[in-house]
């Protein structure tokens, strides 16, 4: 029989430490929607999404009520649209269809307006890439991602160059709304096919027709647990993170199994990510503070993050039958009040964040920079981050927002879970000639494992 | 299906009576109760079986939440599974 102590512990995690399940994401393959006729294609996409996900939000709400744990987001990921669009030239129309379908079933984001171009472009890839700024500025719920590199394939530097230009263009198109389109766009190296988190979620081609992936969260719970071992050695610290991650993940596993059963859709994976929100007590930076760092970004931060990331995985892997996605600790700036504070007071720089991405689960995330930062500089930042991913055999990503009209010292509000961010300074020395070279960076030597 | 009811709040006359009346009316069987009062704060945990009740689990959790609001305490009904998942391997 469950003891009162255990019940109180669980409920304290939920009520006081912001334990939640961050997202139930339904992956839907659109491969069977392919059609050379644009109208038919859009109709098929709309029908397939709305028919299969109509109960997603309701099921999520029911499970949340029954278990007493918040399930914050219900979302959809689809097959990368560049694989579905084929000869269709009007890709923006597809984005609008996705937006309409997402709105119809009540999910807040739909991911997969994506292309995988790590080695080269197809005609459809090119069409899709060109359409991204317009698509993201015309839609509300559509998220887009582009994979431009991988450990197996190297980095497509033509794509990296284009990403800088696209990001600037989408920033400009949404300049009246804090360049918001950039917050819905992410550039990847080693993108994963079963990530439930936005903006980078898409339903990989190796996946089943439909699948349920769940992203757990709970930085606040880890922080609370660490408060009980303040000053203890690293062994105790790591054990505490592991135990907490185990408990958090068990809740995610339960939610995933229930959702899978009720929706009649196979369970894919649990993504064991510590995803912060702007709320106090739901922050990765607060965990660093608790570990003994005055501010995120202080010397020792990369080591602290490495400990956190590794032990979240070690604890979580035991708790779920299938672990996947990005799994680890996210370090978005605008979505974490402690990171925002650290960036504001100068403790946390873009360069330190880059170092931290070597050991976190993803990469440079939700970073606002001045609107006049050049496309080439943004491409340079992306190239650096992709190189870290390629060489270290890990997923890295860049979600950067050059906010038109803002300068270092200003602040930008994105609202909701996306939070707010100070404009961070960027190294202004040029990299134009490097980015303009074009072509492909070959795969690193350790990719030849066969 | 088993559920765990937790009641937290300032102690007053009739909390258990009101919760138990509700459960009896809804044909929910009480399997276990434990209760303490610490510095005037009432803290109760119940294990209940709702198998024979005609309403849905989510409806009961809504009703109990509302009952709690009326009395001035916090009442939650959660499926036992969340605690088993988290604390039992």
ipTM comes to 0.90
For Cα atoms A173, A178, A182, give the angle at the middle one, nearest 5 degrees. Answer: 65
CB contact under 8 A, B83 and A4: no
Residues of B in contact with A67 (CB under 8 A): 78-79, 81-82
Of A7, A62, A254, the CB nearest to B45: A7
Query: What pLDDT sits at residue B18?
Result: 94
For Cα atoms A398, A75, A19, give the angle at the middle one, nearest 5 degrees. Answer: 85
Mind telling me how many Å the CA of B31 is from chain A's nearest CA? 11
CB contact under 8 A, B87 and A6: yes
Query: What pLDDT sits at residue A373?
Result: 97
Cβ of residue A62 closer than 8 Å to a chain B Cβ: yes
Cβ of residue A430 closer than 8 Å to a chain B Cβ: no
Query: What pLDDT sits at residue A4?
Result: 86
pLDDT digit string, tens, across residues B8-32: 999 999 999 999 999 999 999 999 9
pLDDT in tens, chain A (450 residues): 788 889 999 999 998 888 999 999 999 999 999 999 999 999 999 999 999 999 999 999 999 999 999 999 999 999 999 999 988 889 999 999 999 999 999 999 999 999 999 999 999 999 999 999 999 999 999 999 999 999 999 999 999 999 999 999 999 999 999 999 999 999 999 999 999 999 999 999 999 999 999 999 889 999 999 999 999 999 999 999 999 999 999 999 999 999 999 999 999 999 998 989 888 889 999 999 999 999 999 999 999 999 999 999 999 999 999 999 999 889 999 999 999 999 999 999 999 999 999 999 899 999 999 999 999 999 999 999 999 999 999 999 999 999 999 999 999 999 888 899 999 999 989 999 999 999 999 999 999 988
Range 66-85 of A in CB contact (< 8 A) with B? 66-69
| Region B46-73 average pLDDT | 94
Query: What pLDDT sits at residue A218?
Result: 87
Enter the tokens of residue A221. Answer: 């719970």
Q: What is the largest CA-CA distance in chain A?
A: 68
CB contact under 8 A, B57 and A251: no
| Segment (H or E) for B46 | strand B41-49
The answer to whether the bond into A199 is cis (omega within 30° of 0) is: yes
Residues of A in contact with B85 (CB under 8 A): 250-251, 253-254
- A165 vs A162: CA distance, rounded Å: 5
- Residue of A45, A38, A121, A118 whose CA lies nearest to A78: A45
Count of CB contacts below 8 A, A vs B? 59
Of B34, B77, B81, the CB nearest to A254: B81
Chain A interface, best mutation among B86, B87, B88, B89, by max A CB count within 10 A: B86
Residues of A in contact with B68 (CB under 8 A): none
Residues 6+ apart with CB under 8 A from A298: A288, A347
Residues of B in contact with A68 (CB under 8 A): 61, 76-79, 82
- Residue of A288, A290, A271, A263 whose CA lies nearest to A339: A288
Enter the tokens of residue A257. Answer: 């199994």
Strands (E), A151-284: 154-156, 185-189, 210-216, 267-271, 273-274
Residues of B in contact with A250 (CB under 8 A): 85-86
Distance of CA A249 to the CA centre of its chain: 18
Q: How many CB atoms lie within 10 A of CB A256?
A: 28
Mind telling me how many Å the CA of B13 is from chain A's nearest CA? 22
Residues 6+ apart with CB under 8 A from B51: B1
Residues of B in contact with A2 (CB under 8 A): 4, 47, 80, 83-84, 87-88
Mind telling me how many Å the CA of B59 is from chain A's nearest CA? 9
Cβ of residue A34 closer than 8 Å to a chain B Cβ: no
Residues 6+ apart with CB under 8 A from A161: A376, A379, A435, A436, A438
**SS3 state of residue A418:** helix
Strand order in the sheet with B2-10: B29-38, B41-49, B2-10, B74-79
Count of CA atoms in the C-beta half-sphere (13 A) of A361: 26
Q: Residue A171 in contact with residue A404, Cβ under 8 Å?
A: yes
Q: Residue A396 in contact with residue A315, Cβ under 8 Å?
A: no
**All structural domains of chain B:** 2-87 (3.30.70.260)
CB contact under 8 A, B85 and A62: no
**All structural domains of chain A:** 26-60+75-189 (3.20.70.20), 214-437 (3.20.70.20)
- A89 vs A99: CA distance, rounded Å: 18
């Amino acid at each position: 029989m469950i003891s009162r102590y255990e019940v109180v512990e669980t409920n304290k995690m939920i009520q006081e430490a912001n334990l939640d399940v961050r997202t139930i994401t339904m992956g839907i393959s659109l491969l069977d929607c392919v059609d050379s006729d644009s109208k038919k294609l859009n109709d098929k996409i709309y029908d397939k999404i709305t028919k299969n996900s109509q109960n997603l939000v309701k099921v999520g709400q029911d499970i949340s009520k029954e278990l007493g744990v918040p399930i914050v987001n219900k979302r959809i990921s689809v097959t990368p649209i560049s694989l579905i669009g084929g000869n269709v030239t009007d890709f923006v129309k597809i984005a609008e269809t996705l937006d309409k379908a997402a709105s119809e079933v009540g999910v807040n984001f739909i991911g997969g307006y994506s292309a995988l171009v790590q080695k080269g472009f197809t005609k459809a890839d090119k069409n899709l890439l060109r359409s991204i700024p317009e698509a993201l500025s015309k839609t509300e719920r559509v998220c887009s991602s582009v994979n431009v590199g991988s450990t197996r394939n190297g980095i497509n530097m033509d794509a990296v160059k284009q990403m800088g230009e696209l990001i600037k263009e989408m920033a400009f198109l949404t300049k009246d709304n804090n360049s918001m389109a950039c917050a819905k766009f992410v550039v990847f190296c080693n993108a994963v096919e079963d990530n439930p988190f936005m903006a980078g979620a898409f339903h990989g081609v190796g996946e089943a027709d439909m699948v349920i992936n769940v992203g757990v969260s709970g930085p606040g719970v880890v922080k609370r647990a660490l408060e009980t071992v303040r000053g203890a050695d690293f062994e105790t610290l790591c054990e505490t993170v592991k135990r907490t991650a185990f408990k958090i993940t068990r809740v995610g596993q339960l939610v995933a199994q229930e959702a899978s059963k009720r929706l009649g859709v196979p369970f894919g994976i649990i993504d064991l990510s510590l995803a912060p929100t702007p709320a106090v007590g739901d922050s990765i930076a607060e965990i660093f503070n608790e570990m003994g760092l005055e501010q995120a970004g202080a010397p020792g931060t990369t080591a602290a993050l490495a400990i956190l990331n590794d032990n979240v995985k070690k604890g979580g892997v035991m708790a779920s039958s299938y672990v996947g996605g990005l799994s680890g600790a996210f370090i978005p700036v605008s979505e974490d009040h402690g990171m925002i504070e650290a960036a504001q007071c100068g403790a946390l720089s873009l360069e330190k964040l880059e170092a931290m991405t070597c050991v976190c689960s993803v990469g440079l995330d939700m970073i606002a920079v001045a609107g006049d930062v050049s496309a080439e500089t943004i491409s340079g930042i992306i190239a650096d981050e992709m190189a870290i991913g390629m060489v270290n055999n890990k997923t890295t990503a860049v979600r950067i927002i050059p906010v038109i009209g803002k300068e270092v010292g200003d602040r930008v509000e994105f609202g909701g879970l996306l939070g707010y961010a100070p404009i961070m300074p960027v190294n202004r020395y040029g990299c134009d000639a490097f980015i303009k070279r074009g072509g492909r960076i070959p795969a690193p030597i350790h990719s030849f494992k066969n | 299906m088993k559920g765990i009811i937790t009641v937290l709040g300032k102690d007053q006359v009739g909390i258990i009576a009101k919760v138990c009346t509700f459960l009896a009316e809804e044909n929910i069987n009480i399997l276990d109760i434990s209760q303490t009062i610490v510095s005037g704060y009432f803290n109760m945990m119940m294990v209940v079986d709702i198998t024979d009740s005609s309403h849905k689990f989510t409806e009961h959790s809504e009703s109990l939440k509302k009952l709690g609001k009326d009395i001035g305490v916090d009442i939650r009904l959660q499926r036992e599974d969340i605690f088993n998942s988290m604390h039992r391997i």
